A and B are shown apart, each in its own frame.
Chain A
Amino acid sequence: QQQVKQSPQSLIVQKGGISIINCAYENTAFDYFPWYQQFPGKGPALLIAIRPDVSEKKEGRFTISFNKSAKQFSLHIMDSQPGDSATYFCAASGAGNMLTFGGGTRLMVKP
């Protein structure tokens, strides 16, 4: 039973386009929603994170949109670059720093 559902599993975007990855969660006790980025041969690394008291957070080309009533959040990558090609994981956490991860999205940005 996956508490955080992520889609799509894979995504191909042209350079300069917008990449959008969506996640939905069940547990209303979750209060922290990070996104991790993983390059081949490396462990995941924190990319950006949001708390449910805001609806959007932007860091450079990366934006998280959060919809508390729908229990959904998404990652938008503007002006996608080949260097953004990686696997992206959404996650959710409640008390105790226990992260529940989505299934991952493999993003390929074509030059």
Chain B
Amino acid sequence: DVKVTQSSRYLVKRTGEKVFLECVQDMDHENMFWYRQDPGLGLRLIYFSYDVKMKEKGDIPEGYSVSREKKERFSLILESASTNQTSMYLCASSLNPSGPFYEQYFGPGTRLTVT
């Protein structure tokens, strides 16, 4: 059974703190993604990675950075958390898109509150 796990389901942090969100997949997928989910806005892509140590900006990268040191692990970093980063964060993974399949497998999400 495919699995994407996220380190925390709920997280409360203070403004200005450095925050790490961890994601691990056990499917040997090349691609990994970080999204934030907000009501009415759907899922918006923050960053993605198509290989170890490779990263690309998504639609809303400001205030975030990422790290991918191992194929199975993709970390999202909030350098200095702000209240407008309060959101649900979703990690996903997929096979290399050179094949016909584009399915992304999602983790359960981390609900981050910044106070």
On whether the two chains bind one another, the answer is yes
Complex alpha-carbon distance, A32 and B103, angstroms: 10
CB–CB A44/B43 < 8 A: yes
Q: Does A98 contact B (CB under 8 A)?
A: yes
* CB-defined A-B contacts under 8 Å, sample of 30: A2-B41, A6-B42, A9-B40, A34-B102, A34-B103, A36-B106, A42-B108, A43-B90, A43-B107, A43-B108, A43-B109, A44-B90, A46-B104, A49-B102, A49-B103, A89-B43, A97-B94, A98-B45, A98-B48, A98-B58, A99-B45, A99-B104, A100-B45, A101-B35, A101-B42, A101-B43, A101-B44, A102-B42, A103-B42, A104-B42
A60 at the interface (CB under 8 A from B): no
Q: With both chains docked as a complex, state the minimum distance between the C-beta of B104 and any C-beta of chain A, in angstroms.
A: 6
Known: A32-B102, A43-B107, A103-B40. A96 touches B97 (CB 8 A): yes
Residues of A within 8 A of B92 (CB): 43
Task: Report the Cα distance A57→B92, complex, angstroms.
Answer: 25
The residue that B31 contacts in the complex, of A34, A49, A97, with Cβ under 8 A, is A97
> Contact residue range for chain B?
20 to 34
Indicate if B76 sits at the interface (CB-CB under 8 A). no
Q: List A contacts of B4 (CB < 8 A).
A: 43
CB distance from A71 to the nearest CB of B (A): 18
- Beyond A101-B43, A102-B42, A104-B42, is A45–B97 a contact (Cβ under 8 Å)? no
Q: Hey, which bits of chain B sit against chain A, CB under 8 A? A: 4, 31, 35, 39-45, 48, 58, 90, 92, 94, 97, 102-109
Query: CB-CB < 8 A to B105: which residues of A?
Result: 45
| Contact call B108/A41, Cβ cutoff below 8 A | yes
Q: Which of B90, B92, B106 has the most CB of A within 10 A?
A: B106
Asked if A45 and B106 make an inter-chain contact with CB atoms under 8 angstroms apart, the answer reads yes
- Give complex CA distance A35, B43 in Å: 13
Contact B40 A104 (CB under 8 A): yes
